[in-house]
Amino acid sequence: MRQAVALEHASRLVNHGPTVLVSTLHQGRRNVMAAAWSMPVEFVPPRIAVVVDKRTFTRELLVASGGFALSLPVPALAAMTHAVGSESGWQDGRYVDKFARHGIASFDGPVLGLPLVEGCCAWLELRRIAEPRAEQAYDTVFGEVVSAQADDRVFANGRWSIGEHNADLHTLHHFGGGHFGVPSRVVKAMG
C-alpha cells in the first residue's frame, strides 16, 4: 500500500493548505496571482510567509511597494484562481492588469489600501518584512499582518466553521494541474 513519491512531488504531501490570491499595487499598477504555498510563522505579531517567485511581476510590485494582500478564494472562484496563477501580469514586454482582464472585482484594504478580491472568504493586508538573504536564496517573502477580515458565515470567534451549510464558502486547496479540493467535514478530537 505504500509507494515511493518522486522527490519533486514530496512537498505536495504536506502542502494542501488554502490557496491564496496574492495582490499587489505600486504606482498605479496592480497585480494578482495564486499561491499554493503560504503559512503562518509567528503568532504575535502575526506574520505569514508566502512563496512568490523572484522572477514574477507580483514579486517586483511587492518589493517596490513594501506590501501585499492575501485573499482566500472559494469554490466559485476556482477557474479565476487557476487563470491568474497560470499567467503573468507582464506579457510581451507590457503590463497587463489581470483584475481587468478577468473581470475581478476588488475593494481597497482598510490599512494599506491594497486590492482585495471580492467573493473570497477571508482577506489580509501585510507589510513586507525585508529578509534580503532569505529572499535572495529562496522565493519566500515574509509579511506582518496589519489587517484581517473574514466572512462570519465561515469564520467567527477565531475559528473556522466548516459544514454542509456553508460549503460554498470553504477555502480552495490546490492539488496541482488545476485541481482543487475543499474541506468536506470537520473531525473533532475526543478526549
What's the pLDDT tens digit per position in 33-81? 999 999 999 988 999 999 999 999 999 999 999 999 999 999 999 999 9
Is the model's pLDDT at 14 over the cut of 70? no
> 7-181 in CATH: which number?
2.30.110.10
Contact status, residue 122 vs residue 169, Cβ threshold 8 Å: no
Q: Tell me which H or E stretch contains 71.
A: strand 67-72
Sequence spans of domains, the chain? 7-181
Q: Chain-wide mean pLDDT for the chain?
A: 92
Residue 12 has pLDDT above 70, yes or no: no
Q: Does the predicted TM-score (pTM) go above 0.95? A: no
What pLDDT is stored for residue 7 in this prediction? Answer: 81
Confidence of residue 186 (pLDDT cuts 50, 70, 90): confident
In the chain, count H helices and then E strands: 5, 15
- Give 6's pLDDT tier (boundaries 50, 70, 90): confident
pLDDT exceeds cutoff 80 at 191: no
% of the chain residues with pLDDT over 90: 76
SS3 147: strand
